[in-house]
């Protein structure tokens, strides 16, 4: 992908993420060794930290943009659809049951409201 000047635009800056991941890995590797963890465990935990850190850096520096709709294209929200499926249906049923349960609790029992003779 390129812009108008002919320069290449990177959507995913993977080189930045890889270099940051290696730096984070080395930092955690030496930190765990100084804390007297075993060498294989230090290497593994440092690699996990480096992978996670590199992934986060790559995500933070990416230039992904939301998809733009064409002028004639209209996106309708799901709220307008009459089809109710899955989780939404279960939530509605749960809310109906809770409402009925709350209405029953608001009515006092008959023995509580009886008058003594």
pLDDT top residue among 69 and 31: 31
Residue 2 has pLDDT above 50, yes or no: no
Residue 74 has pLDDT above 70, yes or no: no
Mean pLDDT of the chain: 76
The pLDDT assigned to 68 comes to 72
Mean local confidence (pLDDT), 77-98: 70
pLDDT digits (tens, 9 = 90+) for 22-59: 999 999 999 999 999 999 999 999 999 999 999 998 88
**What is the 3-class SS of the chain, one letter each residue?**
CECCCCCECCCCCHHHHHHHHHHHHHHHHHHHHHCCCCHHHHHHHHHHHHHHHHHHHHHHHCCCCCCCCCCCCCCCCHHHCCCCCHHHHHHHHHHHHHHHHHHHHHCCCHHHHCCCC
Query: Global pTM?
Result: 0.47
The pLDDT assigned to 80 comes to 45
């Amino acid at each position: 992908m390129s812009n108008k000047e002919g320069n290449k635009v990177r959507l995913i800056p993977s080189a930045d993420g890889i270099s940051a991941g290696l730096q984070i890995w080395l930092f955690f590797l030496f930190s765990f060794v100084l804390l007297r963890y075993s060498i294989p465990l230090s290497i593994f935990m440092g690699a996990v930290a480096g992978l996670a850190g590199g992934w986060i850096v790559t995500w933070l520096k990416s230039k992904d943009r939301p998809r733009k709709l064409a002028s004639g294209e209209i996106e309708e929200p799901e709220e307008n659809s009459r089809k109710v499926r899955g989780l939404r249906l279960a939530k509605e049923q749960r809310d109906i049951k809770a409402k009925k349960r709350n209405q029953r609790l608001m009515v006092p029992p008959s023995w509580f409201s009886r008058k003594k003779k």
